Structure 1
């Protein structure tokens, strides 16, 4: 089965499109799933769409017309992106899974009340004639879960069976970590900001509303301000137990400004260096109490050598930090697209796509809702047993 996985992250800069083939192997009682990445493409948002999405992510009120417009444009972009990758490869997909752009993830007293992603799937189904799965977080929220991080299922299936606790880390706008114990017990949660606050300062330094700290060059010019770092680390979010999730509803420009007013006159490069250390410190503080012996990282933050160096320093020499490319043969830039495709494969076969130990839901749930393609929707007979392991085909 070939599934197209579409993901737009909290950095809101591009659409990831992964074309993934899944093959079920092994016995009926202990099936294994093989995942082959057939093609991957990153489609950058045009400036107008990117700026409109960033506007939706700010805490100020926005007109409903903007929400509707972004929903349409992102759906149309998604449709054209899948059509292009299918034409390029000569492959047809059986299912398209569109995560969409998260613009709200509302948390009150540690509980997620609602989550909202844009990118109208009807445009994709109409353009490709293929069923589309979308809105893949809401069912878990309705079951009492956080709706995040979704990576828990893929990470669990890839890391299960190790001799020590292992972690997979994603460094997007928000950082999330999945930790799998040798007994197969899995937890996952958002550790806090990865690039979200770093991007805020990069844009202030350059004056470019879409800028970021390319290769960590800005942070490398500054020095960590320990007083500001201590103030940032005092946020109650970091002390909350898992399961927990967060987003740019908390970590945004005005949030940073509230801290900076207590530390006036800091050099901008010292601020961005401190924010980079904040990301590394909060990830390390999440991993170390669990006895994590190795970390495999993915996401845009892996292309920031200053951040990766800080992370290695915080974790210590005894905890190797690699990328998913090196550790598991899974290209780090394509991981989230593959994840979304996997969740679609599971839901298509009637299998839960979430782990209650990860999200805190009362039970595992199928993810999302289907939009039929050109033909009436016909799902296969549900599988009785889900895969116990996931392997990346070479």
Structure 2
């Protein structure tokens, strides 16, 4: 084990419900030790402004610029709070890894995250690494998924095949084969369409189908499910990635228009089954005939209807939550970006070409230095890395 760094990871996913934060210790190579974690929800007005930037609109550059600064302040406050929760001062933290808030993901051209890292570095007085995706994309990759390397450290190397499935807004899979081979990519929507529908049918009062309660009261509309499964994304070869640009409000509107007579609960159940079918199909395609183990993480891992559906479709696989293996389902990605930030300081690559389609490995992220006095942590260690980084 190498030098141990104290790092913070900040993550907000496509659901835009808030910021997940983790304070941990790691060398950037082995399994980290978590010190503290917390989730800070976005105020509803802030969340709506984020969602409004997911699609083109009037004055979007001005709105993005203002929101970028505001989210930088918000992310910085969350970083300071997770320090307090862990009983440490910000000056003892070596690095912050901030994924930011994705507002557009348009592979292979670009991926845009906001939550200004200069603000975070200045407010916290800590070296901050951000903009993790573009280094992969300029090498021909999709810029996603990035977490498979971390998945392999957490769940690989046991001599059996494992599919790690993150059920966030978009679902992604890391297929770890028993022979050591790996492939990864996005499988399609996980919760995003269900979240949109919850927003729509409650006039914005509720943002998700909590515990699958509405889906549990509905039934699968076979004709509608067949139509949903015909989307060309599902037949694309891995690695691949997607986002709300494809599986967003426009797609939901088309679904609603084509099948106007479905009940609200039937829509929840059918959209849940879409996730079940596309995730199960990806598991069986990438680890035929089926992986020995499927590890679920992300918010969808707490949806009993979704989990039961995957258990039914993957009967020869052991389907478990990452929580049962000692990794909190909600904070795995925040842990990953803290881990990546340490790797960036060390000049180590963090993307996997077999996961993103890039032609080469890359050191991910841009480094943002605090404008306050030099601490004895991240600054000094960054100084020692200059020959390899610059």
Scaled by the length of structure 2, the TM-score of the pair is: 0.91
Kindly tell me: are residues 39 and 383 of structure 1, through their superposed partners in 2, closer, same or farther at Cα, counting changes over 3 Å?
farther
Kindly tell me: are residues 326 and 383 of structure 1, through their superposed partners in 2, closer, same or farther at Cα, counting changes over 3 Å?
farther
Q: Is the 8 A contact 1:144 1:360 kept in 2?
A: yes
Kindly tell me: are residues 351 and 6 of structure 1, through their superposed partners in 2, closer, same or farther at Cα, counting changes over 3 Å?
same
Equivalents in 2 of 1:119, 1:86: separation in Å?
19
Is the partner of 2:32 in helix, strand or coil? strand
Q: Is the 8 A contact 1:57 1:104 kept in 2?
A: yes
Measured against aligned partners, the alpha-carbon deviations of 1:135-180 in whole angstroms (never above 9, x if no partner) come to 0001100110010011111012223323221011111100001011
Please say if 1:362 is aligned against 2:366. Answer: no
Equivalents in 1 of 2:386, 2:305: separation in Å?
47
Q: Is the 8 A contact 1:170 1:298 kept in 2?
A: yes
Equivalents in 1 of 2:272, 2:27: separation in Å?
40
Residue 54 of structure 1: aligned partner: 51
Is the partner of 1:133 in helix, strand or coil? strand
Residue 16 of structure 1: aligned partner: 20
Equivalents in 1 of 2:302, 2:320: separation in Å?
12
User: What's the offset of the Cα at 1:59?
Assistant: 5.2
Q: Across the two proteins, how many residue pairs are aligned to each other?
A: 371
Is the partner of 2:52 in helix, strand or coil? helix
Is the partner of 2:109 in helix, strand or coil? strand
Equivalents in 1 of 2:56, 2:17: separation in Å?
18
Equivalents in 2 of 1:260, 1:89: separation in Å?
46
Equivalents in 1 of 2:298, 2:6: separation in Å?
23
Please say if 1:330 is aligned against 2:327. Answer: yes
Match of 1:183 among 158, 179, 184: 179
Paired residues for 1:148-227 under 5 Å = 148-208=144-204, 210-227=206-223
Q: Is the 8 A contact 2:104 2:113 kept in 1?
A: yes
Equivalents in 1 of 2:159, 2:116: separation in Å?
43
Is the partner of 2:363 in helix, strand or coil? coil
Moved over 6 A (4+): none
Equivalents in 2 of 1:162, 1:89: separation in Å?
32
User: What's the offset of the Cα at 1:364?
Assistant: 0.5
Is the partner of 1:218 in helix, strand or coil? helix
Residue 131 of structure 1: aligned partner: 127
Equivalents in 1 of 2:31, 2:199: separation in Å?
41
Q: Is the 8 A contact 2:31 2:154 kept in 1?
A: no
Equivalents in 2 of 1:201, 1:6: separation in Å?
27
Residue 271 of structure 1: aligned partner: 267
Is the partner of 1:380 in helix, strand or coil? helix
Which stretch of structure 1 is more off in the superposition, 351-360 or 89-98?
Answer: 89-98
Is the partner of 2:384 in helix, strand or coil? coil
RMSD of Structure 2 on Structure 1 (CA): 1.8
Measured against aligned partners, the alpha-carbon deviations of 1:102-124 in whole angstroms (never above 9, x if no partner) come to 000114xxxx2111000001111
Q: Is the 8 A contact 1:350 1:382 kept in 2?
A: no
Measured against aligned partners, the alpha-carbon deviations of 1:302-347 in whole angstroms (never above 9, x if no partner) come to 121111111111212x2121111113x1111110110111111111
Scaled by the length of structure 1, the TM-score of the pair is: 0.90
Segments of 5+ residues of structure 1 without an aligned counterpart are 25-31, 385-394
Match of 2:40 among 32, 43, 49: 43
Q: Is the 8 A contact 1:222 1:272 kept in 2?
A: yes
Residue 64 of structure 1: aligned partner: 61
Measured against aligned partners, the alpha-carbon deviations of 1:11-52 in whole angstroms (never above 9, x if no partner) come to 10010010010147xxxxxxx624100000100101111111
Equivalents in 1 of 2:354, 2:205: separation in Å?
38
Is the partner of 2:330 in helix, strand or coil? helix
Please say if 1:380 is aligned against 2:380. Answer: no
Please say if 1:73 is aligned against 2:64. Answer: no
Residue 224 of structure 2: aligned partner: 228
Equivalents in 2 of 1:197, 1:59: separation in Å?
19
Equivalents in 2 of 1:210, 1:54: separation in Å?
15
Q: Is the 8 A contact 1:171 1:302 kept in 2?
A: yes
User: What's the offset of the Cα at 1:262?
Assistant: 2.6
Segments of 5+ residues of structure 2 without an aligned counterpart are none
Is the partner of 1:99 in helix, strand or coil? strand
Equivalents in 1 of 2:27, 2:131: separation in Å?
25
Kindly tell me: are residues 368 and 137 of structure 1, through their superposed partners in 2, closer, same or farther at Cα, counting changes over 3 Å?
same
